[in-house]
Structure 1
Amino acid sequence: MIGPEIDRLIQLLAKLPGLGPRSARRAALQLIKKRDTLMEPLADALAAAAASIRTCSVCGNIDSADPCHICRDGARDRSALCVVEEVGDLWALERTGAFRGQYHVLGGTLSALDGVGPDDLSIPGLLERASRPEVREVILALNATVGGQTTAHYLFDRLAGCDVQVSRLAHGVPVGGELDYLDDGTLTAALRARRVL
Structure 2
Amino acid sequence: MICKNSVQCFIGKPKVAAAGEQLARFNPGVTFEPVQRLIAGPHEICDLIKGVDLVVSCVDQPSEIMMWVNQAALEENISFIEGEYHGICAEIGPFVIPFETGCLACEMTASNADVGKMAEFDWIEQATWLRHPNIHFVTAMAANLICSEICKHLLGVGKPMTCNRRYLLNTQQFTLTSSEFLRSPACNQCGHGKNVSTYS
Q: TM-score, normalised by structure 2?
A: 0.26
Higher relative contact order (CA 8 A, sep 6+): 2
**Larger proportion of helix:** 1
Structure with max Cα Rg: 1
